Structure 1
Amino acid sequence: MLQLKDIKSVYFIGIGGIGMSALARFFKYEGKEVAGYDRTQTDLTHKLEVEGISIHYTDDVDLISSTFKQQLSCLVVYTPAVPKDHTELNFFRDNGFTVKKRAEVLGLLTQGMDGICVAGTHGKTTISSMTAHLLKQSKVGCNAFLGGITNNYKTNFLHDVKSPYVVLEADEFDRSFLHLKPHFALVSAMDADHLDIYGDAEQVYAAFNEFVSLIGAGGALLHKVGLPINEPDEEVEIFTYSLDEEGDFYPTNLHLKNGLYQFDLQSPFGKISNVTLGIPGLVNVENAVGAMGLALLSGVEEDEIREALPKFSGIKRRFEYHVREEGMVYIDDYAHHPEEINATVKSVRAIYPEKELTVVFQPHLFTRTQDFAEGFAKALDKCDQIFLLDIYPARELPIEGVNSEMILKLMESEKVKVVKKEALLDELLKVKPELVLSLGAGDIDKLVPSLAEGLKDSISN
């Protein structure tokens, strides 16, 4: 088995994934030779190439440089989303290379560090990024492997050789988070999801409770009030947080000022008064409460938090404004589960209660659409006008009878329509929207620039 100290090169299969790219950046930072394969070219893969990482986009062993064919010194990292018949992956397996999942490598790299692991079926990218920002802007500092590109740092990887802490997004997909060893852990939500992996909600709960059981002695668990969590080892401290219920950490005196929320944080360490959240959205107040809790547990001081939080400018595709003018507002968000849609819509309504809300939703995965069609329908029925795009398949093959029309048929709204990507802007402009929200975890992000431009032009015309 290849030891970390003996690694000279690292080859990534699925290097364009947000978690994979953070690992690739780490190994590049450490002076290793890094290259990889991905199915499609994206802004992220382009940036990796600019940073000196060679990437190709055809599954072909002949395209792999000889540097990465040295069995005794090359580590191969893959994402579980890669199909089992992938030619390159099987080449490395058949020839005795050390081949590991991303989560396994992350677990190995962070041994000997104090892991601040953020888990949850939604909210984890924002909370982990906020937490990393609060630590980074304090004397405590941190390393971080994040599930999104932060607007503050323009990356998903932070490095600080002086800090003992590493902030990690603990992903429940494929039970990846069970490879981690948390010192502090946060659980934001335990909704049924990834049922193609887990089967039912009970198995989702069981996996999260197994994750919680991995917290080391002397560590702490912070979880949202009301989650079905089994108390871990008695040597682990337990705290709760909430937006609107009294947990150990919760906001009071919450109010909007110029579109942003201000509040006081109540905590076991005392009250932090007059905190301003630098990004919009009620859902992000709850995320901030969790992040502030982790920061306080890590030793970040009250004044450091008060100064840093307003400067957090968000993550790409998390409640991200693209048009913000008097006659038009356009927000894009990664929400792809019914509960995430509910939270995002509630946040938008709180800021713009008088505006009609037009939503564009691209369902992500056939299995998720099949499992949660009714939930999607109920969540989208809370909007005024809805456009559904075709399902983004990602790693899946089609399932007979599962399509976006499945959601439409369950909805009560009469203002809902399934449209093709190429017709979307024209359909949007026909309804003369004043508040647009695009949602989904597929490739809908590629439409965002043209939608924003078209919506801006509609104002001027």
Structure 2
Amino acid sequence: MLQLKDIKSVYFVGVGGIGMSAIARFFKYEGLAVAGYDRVSTVLTSELESEGVQIHYEDDVNQIQLPYRDKKSTLVVYTPAIPKEHTELRYFQDNGFDVRKRAEVLGIISQGKNSVCVAGTHGKTTISSMAAHLYTQSEVGCNAFLGGIINNYKTNFLHNANSSYMVLEADEFDRSFLHLTPHLALLSAMDADHLDIYGDKESITDAFHEFVSKIESGGVLLHKLGLPVDDVNEEIEVFTYSIDEKADFSAFNFKLIDGLYHFDLQTPFGLIKSLYMGVPGLVNVENAVGAIGLALLGGVDEEEIRKSLPTFEGIRRRFQYQINTDELVFIDDYAHHPEEINAIMKSVKAIYPDKKITVVFQPHLYTRTRDFADGFAESLDKADRTLLLDIYPARELPIENVNSEMIASRMKNSDVRVVSKNDLSDVLLEDELELLLTLGAGDIDKEVPLLKEKLDEFISNK
């Protein structure tokens, strides 16, 4: 690979991806020329453009500007979500450019840092973002490359030249996290997912074990209690966390006050009393226990955590309130796996036990829908009413007989419909709304502001 000191420009194929954009922001911060391609314009790509990143939205080699055609000084970064036949990607590969996957580049950037790597099929974005916030608000400080936009900072990239710590979201997709060398590592979940990549659950488990094996000698693993990670290198310390059972880091004495949880935390370093959250949901208490564990193990002190935990404002599209009134609650969330939907349903029912729950869900990927149709049906049956949008294909081509009806046909709840985006708001308003959840990892987020506007108008006209 080009030496970082020799790179003058960086071109991203798929710059609008949440992980790609953090690296783009890093190189822009370093003063390099940064440009790229993405398939569609989004809120995130618009933010990057406002920060000086040049972006175009057609797969067209002619739109690659002159500074990015010098192979001696240009690094090309791509995401594995980009198809192999992509014209621009092929151009760079065929013409001798240094072309690297996003994960490889992140591994190189993090070399020599105390990497705090958060892995798991669920929860990693929230835990890594919480941990980055706790570090940032302390004397320890951190740099961070995250898979979500932290509301406190309006970005997924944090920089602190005075800190040796780097908080990283360690993504299991395409085995990306195997490029990292953790100093502190957290493992939140090892459920079956990305079966289009791994084939079966055993292969996913093997990949997580390989990730654990990459923790540097003298490092630390913190994992959710009950995960099968017993074969750990004796040269690292191992701790567990839980909100259900006794672990090294255990939350208890839960109190729900004005929709937010207060709790005590037992740690290997002593008892921390009267912590409270700034974001709602029992699932976020569990995430916070993991994040606090990482912070304490990295040298953040108890009082710093006590002050900063309630100031965490959450992440864009993670249990994000759009409307919160006595008449209507509207929450948007990125949940796109059955276990994530189960978690948010549990959290919502704990806060609003008497409200009727309406879910709008956009399945993400044909393969995930095919592999987990039964799980989606079971988790969505916890809602009183479900509206299913068509599958968001992302990087995939359609699979015969795999569609949203596949989920609907397996549901026991009869109040389920497959609807188009154009009809969504009208269908929603056919019934009295009390609590609305919009869920999914595709482009359902584009519908959220439109729904909010129509629902605000509906409420004001009542």
Structure 1 residue runs without a partner (length 5+): none
Aligned positions of 1:18-33 closer than 5 A: 18-33=18-33
Q: What does residue 158 of structure 1 align with?
A: 158
1:458 Cα offset (Å): 2.1
TM-score, normalised to structure 1's length? 0.99
1:232 Cα offset (Å): 2.0
Partners of 1:457 and 1:241 lie apart in 2 by 44
State the AA in 2 paired with 1:365.
L
State the AA in 2 paired with 1:327.
E
Contact 1:328 1:456 (C-alpha < 8 Å) held by counterparts: no
Structure 2 residue runs without a partner (length 5+): none
Secondary structure of the corresponding residue to residue 432 of structure 1: coil
1:228 Cα offset (Å): 1.4
1:43 Cα offset (Å): 1.0
Q: What does residue 204 of structure 1 align with?
A: 204
State the AA in 2 paired with 1:151.
N
Partners of 1:98 and 1:108 lie apart in 2 by 14
1:243 Cα offset (Å): 1.4
1:214 Cα offset (Å): 0.2
State the AA in 2 paired with 1:240.
T
Partners of 2:6 and 2:167 lie apart in 1 by 25
Partners of 2:138 and 2:302 lie apart in 1 by 10
Cα displacement string for residues 71-107 of structure 1 (whole angstroms, at most 9, x for unaligned residues): 1110000000000000110111111110000000000
Partners of 2:282 and 2:2 lie apart in 1 by 47
Partners of 1:42 and 1:362 lie apart in 2 by 17
Q: What does residue 328 of structure 2 align with?
A: 328
1:24 Cα offset (Å): 0.4
Partners of 2:206 and 2:35 lie apart in 1 by 36
| Number of aligned residue pairs | 461
Secondary structure of the corresponding residue to residue 148 of structure 1: strand
Q: What does residue 41 of structure 1 align with?
A: 41
State the AA in 1 paired with 2:121.
T
State the AA in 2 paired with 1:101.
K
Partners of 1:248 and 1:450 lie apart in 2 by 45
1:182 Cα offset (Å): 0.3
Q: What does residue 17 of structure 2 align with?
A: 17
1:230 Cα offset (Å): 3.5
Provide the alpha-carbon RMSD of the alignment: 0.6
Partners of 1:158 and 1:459 lie apart in 2 by 39
Partners of 1:217 and 1:232 lie apart in 2 by 11
Partners of 2:367 and 2:43 lie apart in 1 by 27
Partners of 1:72 and 1:95 lie apart in 2 by 11
Q: What does residue 442 of structure 2 align with?
A: 442
Contact 1:358 1:386 (C-alpha < 8 Å) held by counterparts: yes
Partners of 2:318 and 2:91 lie apart in 1 by 38
Partners of 1:385 and 1:211 lie apart in 2 by 40
Partners of 1:143 and 1:379 lie apart in 2 by 36
Q: What does residue 103 of structure 1 align with?
A: 103
State the AA in 2 paired with 1:335.
A
1:231 Cα offset (Å): 3.1
State the AA in 2 paired with 1:397.
L
Judge which range, 178-187 or 226-235, deviates more: 226-235
Contact 1:138 1:300 (C-alpha < 8 Å) held by counterparts: yes
Cα displacement string for residues 314-355 of structure 1 (whole angstroms, at most 9, x for unaligned residues): 000000000001100000000000000000000000000000
Partners of 2:8 and 2:459 lie apart in 1 by 55
1:3 Cα offset (Å): 1.5
Q: What does residue 430 of structure 1 align with?
A: 430
1:55 Cα offset (Å): 0.5
Partners of 1:281 and 1:236 lie apart in 2 by 32
Contact 1:336 1:439 (C-alpha < 8 Å) held by counterparts: yes
Partners of 1:175 and 1:229 lie apart in 2 by 18
Partners of 2:231 and 2:313 lie apart in 1 by 34
Aligned positions of 1:282-431 closer than 5 A: 282-431=282-431
Q: What does residue 118 of structure 2 align with?
A: 118
Secondary structure of the corresponding residue to residue 241 of structure 1: strand
Partners of 2:3 and 2:437 lie apart in 1 by 47
Q: What does residue 222 of structure 2 align with?
A: 222
Partners of 2:105 and 2:71 lie apart in 1 by 17
Secondary structure of the corresponding residue to residue 149 of structure 2: coil
1:253 and 2:235 matched: no
Judge which range, 230-239 or 11-20, deviates more: 230-239
Q: What does residue 192 of structure 1 align with?
A: 192
Partners of 2:84 and 2:238 lie apart in 1 by 40
Partners of 2:172 and 2:229 lie apart in 1 by 15
Secondary structure of the corresponding residue to residue 433 of structure 1: coil
Contact 1:209 1:230 (C-alpha < 8 Å) held by counterparts: no
State the AA in 2 paired with 1:337.
H
Contact 1:392 1:443 (C-alpha < 8 Å) held by counterparts: yes
State the AA in 2 paired with 1:368.
R
State the AA in 1 paired with 2:319.
F
Secondary structure of the corresponding residue to residue 100 of structure 2: strand
TM-score, normalised to structure 2's length? 0.99
Partners of 2:274 and 2:320 lie apart in 1 by 24
Q: What does residue 71 of structure 1 align with?
A: 71
Aligned positions of 1:48-87 closer than 5 A: 48-87=48-87
1:8 and 2:8 matched: yes
Secondary structure of the corresponding residue to residue 150 of structure 2: coil
State the AA in 2 paired with 1:27.
F
| Percent of residue pairs identical | 67
State the AA in 2 paired with 1:379.
S
State the AA in 2 paired with 1:405.
E
Partners of 1:213 and 1:300 lie apart in 2 by 25
Partners of 2:351 and 2:459 lie apart in 1 by 21
Cα displacement string for residues 386-411 of structure 1 (whole angstroms, at most 9, x for unaligned residues): 00000000000000000000001101
1:31 Cα offset (Å): 0.8
State the AA in 2 paired with 1:341.
I
State the AA in 1 paired with 2:453.
E
Secondary structure of the corresponding residue to residue 153 of structure 1: coil
Partners of 1:455 and 1:190 lie apart in 2 by 38
